[in-house]
Amino acid sequence: MVRSINTGVVLGAAFCMQLSLSGVAHAEGPAVSGLNGKIEAAAGAADGGGDTHYRVGGSVTLPLGRDWGLQADGSYQDYGQTAGAGAVHLFTRDPDRYLFGATVSGVQSDAATLGAIGAEGELYLGRFTLDGWAGYGSLDYDETVAPDKDGGFAMVGAGYYPTDDLRLGLGAASVFGADSVNFGAEYQFASLPLSFTFDARVDEDGEASGLAGLRFYFGGERKTLIQRHRQDDPRDRGFDLFAAAGRQALERPAVASDFTSQGACEAAGFTWTAEHCT
């Protein structure tokens, strides 16, 4: 697990810098094979099954000439509280070697607005893919009593394709000091542009969540899953940002004025002075 945000940012930035030096000017294939997209829906549980949640989303990707691509992501999730997330990617790619670009993303919930911008990269090594996204973000709470946050973030991951239609992945993320690890799997049914997806995440406090769902691909010719991932659409970074930020994107942090009894005040880490929590 990424243990500190500074370490995560350094590793993520170094990974993306390495990709930028890997020969962006020597792409041998188009960055995007053609106009394409995906629609998906998933449901799951968190905290040992106590809370159910779901998400729906989609992406559209289009080529900008031969060397560049543009993608827009959008998703809506309900984790007891609702939030919308989105991202825009501008990237160049050699489908046999790498992807490198810039991505801006945002999350809007009832409690806060989260925005992030950074460099994104993927490196293709046979059946392995290494990916990363690192940059700077800010989290603004709707209530002025809550302290806002800003600083670096980083997400890194590795995927392996045992077959052309199955991907297994591991990753780690750090967003404003919230660290987590995640596992993902996707299996595309051989006769359909449809896949089964599974995502699980554990944060530094040991709280776990999981989602299982279906993803439908549209546009272009029939492809294997590994071809779709390397020739068509990059990851949905809007959802990645939401998932990695955790509860801090849905709930404002507690402040002293929330507590009216000494016991609750001190249990929350504040000081009880003159019949007030400070």
Q: What is the CATH number of the domain that holds 150?
A: 2.40.160.40
User: CA-based angle 239:243:245, to the nearest 5?
Assistant: 115
pTM: 0.82
Q: What is the pLDDT of residue 262?
A: 63
Q: Judge whether 176 and 137 are in contact, CB under 8 Å.
A: yes
Q: Which residues of the chain have pLDDT under 50?
A: 1-26
Q: What is the pLDDT of residue 260?
A: 61
Q: What is the pLDDT of residue 278?
A: 54
Alpha-carbon gap, residue 163 to 241, rounded angstroms = 28
Cβ neighbourhood burial of 50 (10 Å; 0-12, 13-18, 19+): exposed
Q: What is the pLDDT of residue 15?
A: 46
What are the strands, taking DSSP E only, across the chain? 36-46, 51-64, 68-78, 82-94, 98-109, 112-125, 128-141, 149-163, 166-175, 178-188, 194-203, 208-218, 272-273, 276-277
Amino acid of residue 1: M
Q: What is the pLDDT of residue 265?
A: 58
Q: What is the pLDDT of residue 272?
A: 72
Non-local CB neighbours of 206 within 8 Å, separated by 6+ positions:
none
Q: What is the pLDDT of residue 195?
A: 97
Domain of residue 147, residue span: 5-277
Q: What is the pLDDT of residue 197?
A: 98
Cβ neighbourhood burial of 131 (10 Å; 0-12, 13-18, 19+): buried
Number of CB atoms found within 10 A of residue 271's CB: 11
How many domains are there within the chain?
1
State phi, psi for 30 to the nearest 5 degrees.
-65, 150
